[in-house]
Structure 1
Amino acid sequence: MLPPVDTSNVLALRQQILARNTALQGGSLGGLQNIGQPAQPPAFQTAMQDALKSVSAVQEQAGTASAAFERGETHDLASVMIARQKASIAFEATLQVRNRLLGAYKDVMNMPL
């Protein structure tokens, strides 16, 4: 099962975007003063990394359950099939998120200046 989404990270990222937008519209450097310095990864990046690690863990569990069933270590076919379905759904969700992000990136790149 995927972990619940922490909305506080999303809201904090939104606040950062709004603050930078306000700073850019005001003509000041605001949040851009630290351009040359390494920054902490944005909340979006860490959220995506955590989600991908979670999907990877679900797939690994499904593979382990399948291998155990094939070796005869377990006879619970239902739990193996449930683990495989969870892995499949998690992968499909990840694929859909990737497609949406790619579509949004293409839309932004095709915007006229």
Structure 2
Amino acid sequence: MGFFSLLFGTPDNKLLAETINKGAFLVDVRSPREFSSGSVKGAVNIPLDSLTQQLAKFKGKENIVVFCRSGNRSSTAKSILAQNGYPQVLDGGAWQDVNKILTNQ
């Protein structure tokens, strides 16, 4: 569990699992270097600092899960996406937490 998840609570694992099962667009918002060191199978890397320039990648996606190292950047990513017309985004928190849910199905 990530540091920010401990402070602010974890995402609803049941909802997260249901969203992933629906074929969610899994987005790791960490840096390319962090992403290359390990991530969730099937995830794409769209770093937080380039998120607004890559909004087109989210078009037509019904279920979106964003995650990062601790949950801080994913929370920011969720807010940015909501402000740009993507309210169907779920903050998965830390990538390890999302990975646990994905691999335990």
Determine which structure has the larger strand proportion and give its number: 2
The structure where helix makes up a greater share of residues is: 1
- TM normalised by structure 2 equals 0.24
Which structure has the greater CA radius of gyration? Answer: 1
